[in-house]
Amino acid sequence: MATTSDHTLQLDGIDKIILRALMENARQSINHLATQVGISGTAVHQRLKKLEREGVISGSQLMVNEKVLGYKTRAFVGIFLDKAMRNPEAVQRLKKIPEVIECHYTTGNWSVFIKILCRDNAHLMELLNREIQTIEGVSRTETFISLDQQINRQVGI
């Protein structure tokens, strides 16, 4: 069962098989998927288009190994804002920092929680001191450095 913004979409067994196969390897051809599922390539294509229209899938993406590109420090930063109304302008500034790869509006202690990739700890410190903590309304930050990502998966289908 998939929930889109307006309604809940019922996924049948064929949809689930297609989605699981693509989540494992998004580079599979439609013809290969059709053979796995036992339906025509046209039918697989139509189902994929339906799943896109319904918002269940939104394209595919290539995953880059950031460590090979020199980004060896992954950190999570909780950002405290002096006023909640500063959130939109703070997020606009964070969008301009390429190392910020995720940004979440959260409950709990922080106003904003971000994930950033840096070359090393010195790069992280520079980003915090010169970019993030200088954003108007940021009163303080809490930073957590990830030593190792032990689980990385999508939601189960």
**Reduced 3-state DSSP string for the chain:** CEECCCCEECCCHHHHHHHHHHHHCCCCCHHHHHHHHCCCHHHHHHHHHHHHHCCCCCCCCCCCCCCCCCCCEEEEEEEEECCHHHHHHHHHHHHCCCCEEEEEECCCCCCEEEEEEECCHHHHHHHHHHHHCCCCCEEEEEEEEECCCCCCCCCCC
Strands 100-105 and 8-9: unpaired
Q: Say if domain 73-146 classifies as CATH 3.30.1490.20.
A: no
For the chain, the domains span 2-53, 73-146
pLDDT for 6? 57
Neighbours of 81 (CB within 10 A): 19
Q: What are phi and psi of 46, to 5 degrees?
A: -65, -40
Nearest to 142 by CA among 77, 83, 65, 73: 77
pLDDT for 88? 96
The answer to whether 140 touches 81, Cβ cutoff 8 Å, is no
Instruction: Convert the pLDDT of each residue in 90-144 to its tens digit.
Output: 999 999 999 999 999 999 889 999 999 999 999 999 999 999 999 999 999 999 9
Cα 88 to Cα 94: distance, rounded to the nearest angstrom:
10
Cα 66 to Cα 115: distance, rounded to the nearest angstrom:
13
Query: Is 154's pLDDT higher than 90?
Result: no
Query: Is 4's pLDDT higher than 50?
Result: no
* Region for 133 from its dihedrals, namely left if φ exceeds 0, alpha if ψ lies in -120 to 50, beta otherwise: alpha
Instruction: Convert the pLDDT of each residue in 22-61 to its tens digit.
Output: 988 888 999 999 999 999 999 999 999 999 999 999 877 7
What's the CATH code, domain 2-53?
A: 1.10.10.10
Cα 97 to Cα 127: distance, rounded to the nearest angstrom:
9
Confidence of residue 82 (pLDDT cuts 50, 70, 90): very high
